[in-house]
C-alpha cells in the first residue's frame, strides 16, 4: 500500500562505550529515566508524528530488543492501518552478512521499502534522547522541494570537530559536509536524522552498494554523493533537547537532566507537550519507608526506599535498604542496595547488588559504572 512517509530506525549498534550495560543488551534497549528504554523516544516521536509504518533495523543482541518492541503496541503502532516491524540481517541467495554500515542497512531492506512504496523515508537513530514531532521537518522538506533534509543541532564551535558538520547558505541549503573536521567552519552538527524523497534515496543506495570502496555510510558516502551530484539538500534546525547517550558519562548526564533546577525534561510531557510511551511494568506501587529520605529524585513504581536518596533516578523494583545512601546516581531496574552501602556519582546496572557497608563512589565530575550480579551459588 502506497504511503506518504515510512520511518526506518537504525538500532543495531553495539554501544561498546556503555561497557557492561550493553554486554548482553542492545544499546537502544538500555534503561533510561527510571521507566523508559532509549528506543522509546524515536518510536514515540513517530507515533506523535502520525507515522504509521516503522521499520526497526536490528543487529547486535537483537533478541531482547525484538522482544521489547513486539508488535508496536506500546506506541500505538499495531493497528490495522499501522505497522511496526523489526528487520534483522537475513540470509538471501547471496548469503548471510551483517549490515556493513548505516546506508547498507537501509539498502538490505529496500524490498521492504518498495513494498511500502512511500513518497518519503525518514531515517532515525535508535539511541538518542529527544522528543519531537517530525511534521515541521517534513513540511520544510516538501515546501523546499528538497531531495534530502537533514536535522542539525547547533553545538559550541570548540566541540564541532567531534561531529559531522554541515555548512549552509543563508537559505539553509547545504553546500558542504565536513566529517569531524579539525578546523570546522560551521557549528551545525548532523543529528543523524534524515528525510529523503524515496526515489532519490533508492538510486543513491543502489549506486553506493555497487561501490566496493564505500563505507556504506550516510554521513561519509551518501550525503557527499548527493552533494556532488548537485541534489538539493537542506538543513532543518532542531531547537529542543537532544542527547546522544553513547557513553556512561553522557547517559548519566541525560538522566540527571530529568531532575534538579535546570531540568530540560519532565515525565508528563517532554518539551512542547509530546508524550513518551513505554511499557507498563505492572509493578507494585513505590514505597518510601519510615525514616527514609528522598529529595530531588525520580522514583519509579515497585521501588522500595528505606534509606536516603538525593538527586538520583531510581528505576522499577529497586530496593534501597536502611542506612544506605544514594546520591547523584542512576539506579537501573531490579537493583538491591544493602544496608549502610554508599552509592555516589554512579550508574548501577540492572539486576546488580551493592553489598552492605560497601561504597560505589566516583569523585568530582567522574562517573563510575557498577555491575555486579549475584549467582545462585554465591
pLDDT tens across 325-339, in order? Answer: 999 999 999 999 999
> Burial letters for 258-274: b for 16+ Cβ neighbours within 10 Å, e otherwise?
bbeeeebbeeeebeeeb
Average pLDDT over residues 275-304: 91
pLDDT score for 375: 59
Confidence of residue 269 (pLDDT cuts 50, 70, 90): very low
Confidence of residue 90 (pLDDT cuts 50, 70, 90): low
Average pLDDT over residues 28-43: 93
Average pLDDT over residues 83-105: 77
pLDDT score for 24: 86
pLDDT score for 64: 81
What are the angstrom distances between the C-alpha of 186 and each of 62, 98, 100, 161, 237? 37, 34, 29, 10, 13
Average pLDDT over residues 306-320: 97
Number of H helices, E strands in the chain: 8, 28
Contacts of 235 (CB under 8 A, 6+ apart): 149, 150, 151, 152, 166, 168, 172, 173, 174, 188
Contacts of 342 (CB under 8 A, 6+ apart): 324, 325, 358, 359, 360, 361
pLDDT score for 94: 60
In this model, does residue 16 exceed pLDDT 90? no
pLDDT score for 1: 43
Q: CA 38, CA 26: separation in Å to the nearest integer?
A: 10
In this model, does residue 378 exceed pLDDT 50? no
In this model, does residue 45 exceed pLDDT 80? yes
In this model, does residue 264 exceed pLDDT 70? no
34: left (phi over 0), alpha (psi -120 to 50) or beta: left
Domains and CATH numbers, the chain: 3-256 (3.90.550.10), 287-370 (2.160.10.10)
Q: Which pTM was predicted? A: 0.91
Output the nine-digit C-alpha cell for 260.
Answer: 534538579
Amino acid at each position: 500500500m502506497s504511503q506518504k512517509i515510512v520511518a526506518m530506525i537504525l538500532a543495531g549498534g553495539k554501544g561498546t562505550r556503555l561497557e557492561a550495560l550493553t554486554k548482553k543488551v542492545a544499546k537502544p534497549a538500555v534503561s533510561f529515566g527510571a521507566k523508559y528504554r532509549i528506543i522509546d523516544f524515536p518510536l514515540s516521536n513517530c507515533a506523535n508524528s502520525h507515522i504509521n509504518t516503522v521499520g526497526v533495523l536490528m543487529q547486535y543482541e537483537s533478541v531482547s530488543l525484538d522482544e521489547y518492541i513486539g508488535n508496536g503496541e506500546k506506541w500505538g503502532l499495531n493497528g490495522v492501518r499501522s505497522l511496526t516491524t523489526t528487520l534483522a540481517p537475513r540470509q538471501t541467495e547471496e548469503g548471510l552478512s551483517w549490515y556493513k554500515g548505516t546506508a547498507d542497512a537501509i539498502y538490505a531492506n529496500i524490498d521492504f521499502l518498495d513494498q511500502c512504496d512511500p513518497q518519503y523515508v525518514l531515517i532515525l537513530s535508535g539511541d538518542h534522547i529527544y522528543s519531537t514531532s517530525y511534521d515541521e521537518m517534513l513540511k520544510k522538506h516538501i515546501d523546499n522541494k528538497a531531495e534530502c533534509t537533514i536535522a542539525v543541532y547547533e553545538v559550541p564551535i570548540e566541540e564541532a570537530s567531534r561531529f559531522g558538520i554541515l555548512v549552509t547558505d543563508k537559505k539553509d541549503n547545504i553546500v558542504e559536509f565536513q566529517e569531524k573536521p579539525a578546523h570546522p567552519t560551521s557549528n551545525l552538527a548532523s543529528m543523524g536524522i534524515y528525510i529523503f524523497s524515496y526515489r532519490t534515496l533508492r538510486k543513491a543506495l543502489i549506486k553506493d552498494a555497487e561501490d566496493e570502496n564505500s563505507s556504506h555510510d550516510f554521513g561519509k558516502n551518501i550525503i557527499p554523493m548527493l552533494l556532488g551530484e548537485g541534489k538539493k539538500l537542506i538543513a532543518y534546525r532542531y531547537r529542543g533537547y537532544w542527547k546522544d547517550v553513547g557513553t556512561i558519562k553522557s547517559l548519566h548526564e541525560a538522566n540527571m537532566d530529568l531532575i534538579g533546577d535546570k531540568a530540560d525534561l519532565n515525565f508528563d510531557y517532554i518539551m512542547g507537550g509530546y508524550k513518551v510511551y513505554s511499557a507498563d511494568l505492572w509493578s507494585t506501587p513505590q514505597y518510601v519507608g519510615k525514616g527514609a529520605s528522598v529529595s530531588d529524585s525520580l522514583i519509579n513504581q515497585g521501588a522500595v526506599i528505606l534509606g536516603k536518596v538525593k538527586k538520583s533516578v531510581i528505576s522499577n523494583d529497586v530496593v534501597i535498604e536502611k542506612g544506605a545512601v544514594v546520591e547523584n546516581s542512576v539506579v537501573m531496574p531490579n537493583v538491591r542496595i544493602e544496608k549502610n552501602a554508599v552509592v555516589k556519582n554512579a550508574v548501577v546496572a540492572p539486576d546488580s547488588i551493592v553489598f552492605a557497608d560497601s561504597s560505589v563512589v566516583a569523585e568530582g565530575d567522574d562517573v563510575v559504572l557498577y555491575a555486579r550480579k549475584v549467582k545462585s551459588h554465591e
